[in-house]
Amino acid sequence: MAFYETQLRAALRLFLLSTFLALSGCASLSATDQQNVAGKTYVITGASSGFGRGVALRLAGMKANVVLAARRTAVLNEVASQAQVAGGTALVVTTDVSKPEDVSRLADAAVQRFGRIDVWINNAAVGAIGAFDTIPVEDHARVVDVNLKGVIYGSHAALRQFRKQGAGVLINIGSVESEVPLAYHASYSATKAAVLSLGRGLNEELRLAGLRGPIEVATVMPWATDTPFFEHAANYTGRTAREPAMDGPQKVVEYIVYTSLHPSEEVPTGWKARAAIWSHHLAPDLTEHVSANISHTSQMEHAPPVQPPTTGSLYQPMQGGTGVDGGVRARMEREDAERKKAESGQ
């Protein structure tokens, strides 16, 4: 891990602006922020694990109403119980975001229960890892159905409600890959780039309608993060799924909650995300080459072999991977230690 972190720092340092440090602030919730969350209603898709679960429980601890949406009803009920214990009020709405009728029902249920929606977080996402032409085309299509169409459906439902009530914050979870496409993540990167473009276009429409301010659209752009996403992703690499120099999920959770109170159009989550985006603005081809090389070494050379390809949770939810943290960093440390031991002949 230290090797990848060193490579990444050295490569990106070449391209950072002298003002980078002034732009690399972190998300920090004040006591007033926490008070302002109380009583607000948040709709959260992908709430059964990862960022969605983490955000739901963080908000519940600040007395928010959390509307929990995902395909895994039993897991959502578990999250709801934890949210209630933490001090929030929870509503479970089983939802497949690729189905517009499910998303419409989600919005209706939230308004019927709580009277309004203050923040809608489009977080649900899936991935397909591998060389583009080795992944079945239907799997690429499913990634688009969930990651792009699902965000469009959620954004549409949220904005219609926000216009009715005169205010609201829409948060779409993008990625550093919204700016820097990554080898072996082609369709995932494409959907995250589209999510960023969607947010930019929606903000311009709101500005032209005189609604920018009361209604805001933010795209949160995390660096590679240790969540169950990698366990859930379809995997056609023949190796365990991984990315180097991962962030912990709680960092991104804090950014998402902070953004719900202080929305900005684009929100990179920390120095690595900011560095990659600035680097891509200054030297796009070189940034993409460096990113691809690092990813290739980690995913296609250093990751150990696994069983045959899997579609992960693309079509049906998986029983495993229900936490906020995915345990990927710990697994990678074990795998890398075993690889180095084998290479040394010990």
The pLDDT tens digits of the residues spanning 188-212 come to: 999 999 999 999 999 999 999 999 9
Q: What percent of the chain has pLDDT over 70?
A: 92
Q: Could you give the C-alpha distances from 153 to 104, 161, 195, in angstroms and in order?
A: 8, 13, 12
State CA 31 to chain mean position distance.
26
Residues 51 and 173: beta-carbon distance below 8 Å: yes
pLDDT tens digit sequence for 19-38? 343 344 567 899 999 899 99
State CA 5 to chain mean position distance.
21
Q: What is the pLDDT of residue 27?
A: 78
Q: How confident is the model at residue 9 (pLDDT cuts 50, 70, 90)?
A: low
Rounded Cα–Cα distance for residues 81 and 90 (Å):
8
Q: What is the pLDDT of residue 185?
A: 98
Kindly report the CATH number assigned to the domain that includes residue 225. 3.40.50.720
Q: What single letter denotes the amino acid at residue 153?
A: Y
Q: How confident is the model at residue 13 (pLDDT cuts 50, 70, 90)?
A: low
**Helix boundaries (H) for the chain:** 2-13, 20-23, 31-37, 50-60, 73-86, 100-114, 137-144, 150-165, 186-208, 229-232, 249-261, 271-282, 284-296, 328-343
Which SS3 state, helix, strand or coil, does residue 127 take?
A: coil
Average pLDDT over residues 271-291: 97
Rounded Cα–Cα distance for residues 325 and 344 (Å):
31
pLDDT tens digit sequence for 313-332? 999 999 999 999 999 999 99
Q: Which of 188, 236, 255, 258 is catalytic?
A: 188
Rounded Cα–Cα distance for residues 156 and 274 (Å):
29
Better-predicted residue by pLDDT, 201 or 13:
201
Count the domains in the chain: 1
Q: Which domain holds residue 217?
A: 2-343
Joined together, the tokens standing for residue 6 give 């060193």
Q: What is the pLDDT of residue 22?
A: 36
Q: What is the pLDDT of residue 306?
A: 87
Q: What is the pLDDT of residue 346?
A: 65
Q: Is a pLDDT exceeding 80 seen at residue 345?
A: no
Q: What is the pLDDT of residue 307?
A: 78
Q: Which of 73-82, 131-140, 256-265, 335-344 has the lowest mean pLDDT?
A: 335-344
- Give the residue from 105, 111, 53 showing the smallest Cα distance to 83: 53
pLDDT tens digit sequence for 253-262? 999 999 999 9
Q: Active site includes 188?
A: yes
Q: Could you give the C-alpha distances from 200 to 124, 144, 178, 193, 206, in angstroms and in order?
A: 20, 19, 12, 11, 10
**pTM of the prediction?**
0.93
